[in-house]
Structure 1
Amino acid sequence: MSNPSDNDRIEALKFKDEGNAFVKKQNFSKAVESYTKAIELDATVSIFYSNRAFAELKLDNFQTCMLDCTEAIKIDPKNLKAYHRRGLSYVGLLEFRKAKKDLELVLKAKPGDATAKNAFQICEKFIREERFRKAIGGGADDEAKHKICQLVPLNSFDANADLQNYTGPTLEFEQLTNEKNENCGIEIKNMSQDFISKMVNDLFLQGKTLPKKYAASIVSHAERLFRNEPTLIELENEKENQDVKISICGDTHGQFYDVLNIFKKYGKVGPKHTYLFNGDFVDRGSWSCEVALLFYSLKILFPQSLYLNRGNHETENMNKMYGFEDECKYKYSNRIFEMFSQSFETLPLATIVNNNYIIMHGGLPSDPNSTIDDIRKIDRFSQPPREGLFMELLWSDPQTANGLGPSQRGLGFSFGPDITAQYLKRNNLRKVLRSHEVRMGGIFFEHDKKLATVFSAPNYCDSQNNKGAIVHVVPGKGVAGEYNNDDEDLLIEIFEAVKHPDIKPMAYSNGGMGF
């Protein structure tokens, strides 16, 4: 409304204040709704847009945040917060040069702003790396960085004080070499349930870390296992392996204590119990290293019973913005982070269970003719591109309207019920299971119950008060009718968050989106 009445302006301010109250409670979805009502009544106030942009940014809706900031700046070119938030949204959109330009304006006015300064440094680093890659054309140094899990020398950790002073559970290692006597990875010879239990109870739950030699060896060994898996994993417990339960979890985001609770409540990983964690197991939460090392150790011990799909947060740019890189450097080292980063590039992108359920982190392809064979053909061993099937599997979200729409996140698409129905029919599948979005009840069925979003980080970021969910694939033993589920082969269970030490989310973050 371009000419609001006095009453409209008064009511709009009430909705703005309501939105601010929701922000203080960290209920950002409700904040967006309130700011939207304010804008509908009075679209002439810059701060309404920049406030909504803040809430959108907290929801990872980078595209809508950027658009709101641009509108705020049109109304008031001196709205510094709008430039700041637009800069951060451009970082989320991977448009680092545009981000740098906005953040420069912020730093000229507020040179001591730590968040802007750290985000600016992230932009400069990405821009430098891009220039370097172009200059060397993918030369030897770049190649070595992306093979660090294979090339890292095991003996390079031997002089570290953390190893000399270590009295915890022990592992035996072997440096693998190829026919040219070149390093090609590290193998752990004696991974055991006893080691994993002691690692969790005697180290991680006591606030301690593994020696870097141990962490590097676990990542290197697990990376080799992931690299040898197909891009599309296929699991089965309907015709064969009928005594095996397959459990699917959504985002866990470094919430280590909630991950332990999942295993406590629903059973440990083992020959009769397969777990699939559907991406985003790092970032946000302040125990991402512990979660990743636990999953990787379980993968080494039970390679056919623990699977990880890649999420959009198993990527370098997300790790730089949302805390995992800083946490990893604080607890271990930059080299360990680089090893994790390479290992993320080897993670599969999707899983099919019983030829009925396709599971990916984000969403379905935008190509109306795409089949599951297209997933199999993806060269996944890299950072995801900005467009195409690879990106869409990690980033896209469902929408209520038919067809394709722009993503609020700015990466991938929003896809409607017709897209889901056509994809399932074309590929002879029953349902899509995906994650990527908080669902207050832990799981949410939509698209005529053909698609479910499962989220397994309860009370996400210690603020959302959502429940967590897990989906068990148990043919003929499921429960239809619960939690809006209509499938007798699926059993859905809901759980609450558990207590954890008083360490806030992203406690180790030096910037990026940790503002």
Structure 2
Amino acid sequence: MSDEAKECRLAANDLFKRGLISMALDKYTECIDLLIKNLTSAQQGDNNSGSINNDIACCYANRSLANMKLEMYGSALTDASKAIEYDPTYIKGYYRRAAAYMALGKHKLALDDLRKIAATAENDKFVHSKIKACEKIIHQIRFEKAISVDSRNSRPLAYTIDCDSLAVEGSYRGPHLDESGKVTLDFIHELINHYKEQKILHKKYALKILCNVYDLFAKSPTLIDLTVPSDGKITICGDIHGQFYDLLHIFELNGLPSETNPYLFNGDVVDRGSWSIECILLLLSFKLLYPNHFYITRGNHEAHSINQIYGFQGECRVKYSQTMYELFTEVFQVLPLAYCINERVLVMHGGLFSSDDVTLDDIRKIDRNRQPPDEGLMCELLWSDPMPQDGRAMSKRGIAIQFGPDVTEKFCQRNNLDYIIRSHEAKTLGYERAHNNRCITIFSAPNYCDSMGNDGAFIRLSGSDLSNPEFVQFQASPHPDLKPMAYANPVML
């Protein structure tokens, strides 16, 4: 490796360690380009190029990990495959590719790569534990398919669970719903304090909240039209990802939700952070207390295939039960997919579409009460991302699309919108204006996963001046000593 390439790789590794992942990714790209030039020179000079191939493989594997951190799983998969192409004996390349396959739900392909590693490292207990975890997921998926029934032919759990028959033990010292089983403001204050003490809400009340809120969401349309009066406002938050103490900080900065202080949380409330239960149950409680002034969008992480991997299912099982998780899954399936504010601003979690013909009525007609498909309008609403250049491209995530300024402009013109607000991507400042201010990203999980170093942000929108959103930035709050992904599936590498 040349001195220039060596310095470049060291700089990339340092940026990665400091949590500057996007900058590290660019530096790894620079290093790969330098190494490929070195390789070409070595081949022309008839020198041994084996060590350079290994160096290139190493950089591709490192860039694959950086892409994983940025949730660009499609790019992570491509880089891992490149690492293997340059050095088929490079074990870390297979690890990285297996992780990317798992993130994309391609469990059998991940298992194939893990078994290739095991074939060369028979006594590696780590890889054998990953193989067992991967096999368990595959068996679970087969079992679920074997026993699955069309949800339209079966009564939802929310309508069959008898919450009132559950006893509350005398030793329980947490918050109680009122005598009629309803959420009150006193209950919410007690719940926040209870959660600050790292205690769990009694399962009777958790089940009651889920059953009641299921019915509320199930009666809502897929796209909800919101009216913010000229003398009113609404606060829009992006991804929370189980970062409960940062969620509380938002309420400290902006006040608790109320009829005069409405909120919209734009998806990805759960997964990755290790207090997802606390986040979602608190937000659902606010929805029950203020049904016409508190709103939640479905994100790509409100999905079973993702919750299996990134921690929410595991957290539910530890804190409650598999039945509780299944009830959460039902609730996630009836969350609205989009909101339109004063007929001028569309809010969705991911982004726009692979066709220019999509209208708001098309979104309204989406059958959302299901697990997200791998393509189509629902998939793109949950997964798509903006890009700086015009046109459309395959997503670096490996699902849905990237869309350019021209796509946003046409969509807004076709639907008489001023701009769109979406979330889905960590941003250094907590927000980003793009596409001539027609596409705004808002992200509310500061120092994402305790490693990204980003600010969080939320938007204040005034009904009298929607054209001038106010961005409020904030930094991460201290939290108890529990790492992100504490409940994630152990197959995540």
Same topology, TM > 0.5: yes
1:231 aligns with 2:243: no
1:37 aligns with 2:30: yes
Cα deviation, 1:424-481, whole Å, max 9, x if unaligned, reads 0000000010011111111110101111111111121222221111111203357xxx
1:95 aligns with 2:115: no
Cα deviation, 1:364-413, whole Å, max 9, x if unaligned, reads 01111111111111111111011111111111100011100111100110
Deviation at 1:331, TM superposition (A): 1.6
Residue 64 of structure 2 contacts residue 80 of structure 2 at CA under 8 Å; is this kept in 1? yes
CA distance change for structure 1 residues 139 and 376 in 2, over 3 Å: closer, same or farther? closer
2:19 to 26, 29, 34: 26
SS at match of 2:98: helix
Residue 310 of structure 2 contacts residue 487 of structure 2 at CA under 8 Å; is this kept in 1? no
CA distance change for structure 1 residues 459 and 139 in 2, over 3 Å: closer, same or farther? closer
SS at match of 2:429: coil
Instruction: Measure, in 2, the Cα distance between the counterparts of 1:229 and 1:321.
Output: 29
Aligned to 2:70: 59
Q: State the Cα RMSD in Å.
A: 2.2
CA distance change for structure 1 residues 348 and 116 in 2, over 3 Å: closer, same or farther? farther
Instruction: Measure, in 2, the Cα distance between the counterparts of 1:116 and 1:361.
Output: 37
Deviation at 1:123, TM superposition (A): 5.7
Matches within 5 A, 1:436-455: 436-455=424-443
Deviation at 1:75, TM superposition (A): 1.6
CA distance change for structure 1 residues 122 and 336 in 2, over 3 Å: closer, same or farther? farther
For 1:419, the aligned partner's letter is V
Runs (5+) with no aligned partner, structure 1: 1-5, 174-187, 479-486
User: Which range moves more in the overlay, 34-43 or 497-506?
Assistant: 497-506
Instruction: Measure, in 2, the Cα distance between the counterparts of 1:394 and 1:444.
Output: 18
Aligned to 2:84: 73
Residue 19 of structure 2 contacts residue 453 of structure 2 at CA under 8 Å; is this kept in 1? no
Matches within 5 A, 1:409-424: 409-424=397-412
CA distance change for structure 1 residues 317 and 132 in 2, over 3 Å: closer, same or farther? closer
1:267 to 234, 240, 255: 255
Aligned to 2:177: 171
1:296 aligns with 2:280: no
CA distance change for structure 1 residues 225 and 76 in 2, over 3 Å: closer, same or farther? same
Residue 177 of structure 2 contacts residue 184 of structure 2 at CA under 8 Å; is this kept in 1? no
Instruction: Measure, in 2, the Cα distance between the counterparts of 1:59 and 1:119.
Output: 25
Runs (5+) with no aligned partner, structure 2: 37-52
Instruction: Measure, in 1, the Cα distance between the counterparts of 2:160 and 2:224.
Output: 27
Deviation at 1:500, TM superposition (A): 1.8
Residue 163 of structure 1 contacts residue 213 of structure 1 at CA under 8 Å; is this kept in 2? no
SS at match of 1:471: strand
CA distance change for structure 1 residues 342 and 113 in 2, over 3 Å: closer, same or farther? farther
Instruction: Measure, in 1, the Cα distance between the counterparts of 2:381 and 2:428.
Output: 23
Aligned to 2:482: 503
Instruction: Measure, in 2, the Cα distance between the counterparts of 1:246 and 1:415.
Output: 27
Matches within 5 A, 1:394-405: 394-405=382-393
Cα deviation, 1:240-285, whole Å, max 9, x if unaligned, reads x334321111111111111111112112211112110001111111
Figure out how many residues of one structure are paired with residues of the other and give that number: 474
SS at match of 2:446: coil
Instruction: Measure, in 2, the Cα distance between the counterparts of 1:192 and 1:115.
Output: 49
Aligned to 2:210: 219
Instruction: Measure, in 1, the Cα distance between the counterparts of 2:110 and 2:337.
Output: 29
Deviation at 1:305, TM superposition (A): 1.1
2:129 to 117, 142, 161: 117
Aligned to 2:41: none
Instruction: Measure, in 2, the Cα distance between the counterparts of 1:119 and 1:273.
Output: 49
CA distance change for structure 1 residues 450 and 334 in 2, over 3 Å: closer, same or farther? same
1:148 aligns with 2:148: no
Residue 100 of structure 1 contacts residue 120 of structure 1 at CA under 8 Å; is this kept in 2? no
CA distance change for structure 1 residues 226 and 26 in 2, over 3 Å: closer, same or farther? same
CA distance change for structure 1 residues 268 and 330 in 2, over 3 Å: closer, same or farther? same
Instruction: Measure, in 2, the Cα distance between the counterparts of 1:269 and 1:456.
Output: 16
1:428 aligns with 2:392: no
Deviation at 1:104, TM superposition (A): 2.4
Instruction: Measure, in 1, the Cα distance between the counterparts of 2:122 and 2:206.
Output: 40
1:192 to 175, 184, 187: 184
Deviation at 1:167, TM superposition (A): 2.3
CA distance change for structure 1 residues 423 and 126 in 2, over 3 Å: closer, same or farther? farther
Residue 231 of structure 2 contacts residue 464 of structure 2 at CA under 8 Å; is this kept in 1? no
Deviation at 1:172, TM superposition (A): 4.8
CA distance change for structure 1 residues 87 and 437 in 2, over 3 Å: closer, same or farther? same
Instruction: Measure, in 2, the Cα distance between the counterparts of 1:212 and 1:118.
Output: 32
Residue 457 of structure 1 contacts residue 467 of structure 1 at CA under 8 Å; is this kept in 2? yes
Residue 366 of structure 1 contacts residue 413 of structure 1 at CA under 8 Å; is this kept in 2? yes
Sequence identity percentage: 40
SS at match of 1:268: coil
For 1:195, the aligned partner's letter is F
User: Which range moves more in the overlay, 242-251 or 341-350?
Assistant: 242-251
For 1:359, the aligned partner's letter is V
Residue 115 of structure 2 contacts residue 131 of structure 2 at CA under 8 Å; is this kept in 1? no
For 2:293, the aligned partner's letter is S
Deviation at 1:118, TM superposition (A): 4.5
- Normalization by structure 1: what TM-score? 0.87
SS at match of 2:354: coil
CA distance change for structure 1 residues 95 and 36 in 2, over 3 Å: closer, same or farther? same
CA distance change for structure 1 residues 247 and 332 in 2, over 3 Å: closer, same or farther? same
SS at match of 1:273: coil
For 1:414, the aligned partner's letter is Q
2:200 to 181, 193, 209: 209
Cα deviation, 1:52-86, whole Å, max 9, x if unaligned, reads 11111111111111111111111211222111211
Matches within 5 A, 1:204-353: 204-237=195-228, 241-353=229-341
CA distance change for structure 1 residues 470 and 116 in 2, over 3 Å: closer, same or farther? farther
Instruction: Measure, in 2, the Cα distance between the counterparts of 1:278 and 1:113.
Output: 41
Residue 231 of structure 2 contacts residue 463 of structure 2 at CA under 8 Å; is this kept in 1? no
Deviation at 1:512, TM superposition (A): 4.1
Residue 114 of structure 2 contacts residue 130 of structure 2 at CA under 8 Å; is this kept in 1? no
